[in-house]
A = this chain, B = another copy of it.
Amino acid sequence: MAPRCGLRFFSAVISLQSSRMDKRVFYLGIDVGGTFTKVALIDRSGRIIAKEKVSSQGFSCKEAFLGSVRKCFADMLLKARVPAPSVRAIGIGLPGPVDPERGLVLSLTNIPGWKNFGLVDFLRRAFSIPVFIENDANAMALAEARKGAARGFSHALCLTLGTGVGGALIMDGRIYRGPMFMGGEVGHIPVVPDGPPCDCGGRGCLEQYAGNRAILAQASRLFGRPVALEDLSKMARKGHGRARKIWQDVGQRIGFAAAGVVNVFNPQVIVIGGGVSSAGSILIGAIRCALRRHAMRQLKGKVRIKRAQLGHDAGVLGAALLAKEKIEVPR
């Protein structure tokens, strides 16, 4: 009950301060991950003014999830000295497809029991403010488009490399969701006709060659022993031939798939984020090389490849920015 008491106490205090504080407006972002869930408060300028991180363990129980969010929220309000009524909306990013119109989580691999869960209604009832939902790769792309590497570009392709290969498209400055809310799944562009089956239901997807598991398996084959990703990046940076080859192959696959997106959708910038991107210039160099090889003449010289700038905050910032834009832009 502690968070609720804290909230009540704080509300009582701030109610005395009246108008000056009330003019300030804030938005809450929640980035639900399979392992951790991040919560952040942003101000009207899109700056993170408080953030928290909690374990996602036990979130199959929705009340446990709600309790954790409530606690983070109350702690942040106290820490940032923000009155609860100044928080105008909540945005949530989730690691799976969502239906933003009906406010549903369509499916979630890492948290059982959330399939077709009406998360938006659930949180709206709890917090009594508007709630908006988004796929996490889309939320990250929104953050990079507004505050990061894709800022100033109307059309961007954002890739997040990790266990999965997340993809998102920014078109005319907005997230491209697609009519079935599965837009931007660049990690599932097929790159090998006879490739192995993928969890997505396809076969030979980019993710099977550029996802962490594939990279670790390849490293294990080449080195005859398991190698951690971070070590593989370090070895590559030091010029180790086999390690460099692994990252070059990964970059070539990413560039091959990205070239198709470039030729069809013409993004002005490709933003590469996530853990795998720690391989840095070797990976980016290989992506650039494959793009030069496969993109159309008029496009290959124009598209820029940049590393993501917002790191681990991208998801939660994007979720909060989503809420901010949903509330502010229509006005």
Copies of this chain in its oligomeric complex: 2
- Contact B180–A264 (Cβ < 8 Å): no
- Contact A294–B203 (Cβ < 8 Å): yes
CA distance A104 to B134 in the complex (A): 39
CB distance from A194 to the nearest CB of B (A): 10
Asked, given contacts A260-B257, A263-B189, whether A204 binds B298 with beta carbons under 8 Å apart, the answer is no
CB distance from A155 to the nearest CB of B (A): 5
- Contact B299–A264 (Cβ < 8 Å): no
Kindly list chain B residues whose C-beta atoms are within 8 Å of the C-beta of A302. Answer: 180
CB distance from A19 to the nearest CB of B (A): 42
CA distance A195 to B246 in the complex (A): 22
A71 at the interface (CB under 8 A from B): no
Kindly list chain B residues whose C-beta atoms are within 8 Å of the C-beta of A190. Answer: 256, 259-260, 263, 294
Kindly list chain B residues whose C-beta atoms are within 8 Å of the C-beta of A267. Answer: 179
8 Å CB contacts to B: which residues of A120-161?
Answer: 154-155
A330 at the interface (CB under 8 A from B): no
- Contact A298–B97 (Cβ < 8 Å): yes
A167 at the interface (CB under 8 A from B): yes
- Contact B264–A294 (Cβ < 8 Å): no
Number of chain A residues whose Cβ lies closer than 8 Å to a Cβ of chain B:
48
8 Å CB contacts to B: which residues of A256-295?
Answer: 256-257, 259-261, 263-268, 293-295
Kindly list chain B residues whose C-beta atoms are within 8 Å of the C-beta of A260. Answer: 189-190, 257, 260-261
In the complex, which of the residues B183, B189, B263, B293 contacts A188, with contact meaning CB atoms closer than 8 Å?
A: B263
Asked, given contacts A97-B298, A201-B295, A296-B202, whether A182 binds B256 with beta carbons under 8 Å apart, the answer is no
Interface string of A78-106 (1 = CB under 8 A from B): 00000000000000000001000000001
A252 at the interface (CB under 8 A from B): yes
- Contact B259–A202 (Cβ < 8 Å): yes
Kindly list chain B residues whose C-beta atoms are within 8 Å of the C-beta of A154. Answer: 179
In the complex, which of the residues B167, B202, B205, B263 contacts A182, with contact meaning CB atoms closer than 8 Å?
A: B263
Asked, given contacts A189-B260, A264-B169, whether A296 binds B201 with beta carbons under 8 Å apart, the answer is yes
- Contact A299–B155 (Cβ < 8 Å): no
- Contact A296–B185 (Cβ < 8 Å): yes
Interface string of A223-266 (1 = CB under 8 A from B): 00000000000000000000000000000100011011101111
Chain A interface (Cβ within 8 Å of chain B)?
Answer: 97, 106, 154-155, 167, 169, 176, 178-186, 188-191, 193, 200-205, 252, 256-257, 259-261, 263-268, 293-300, 302
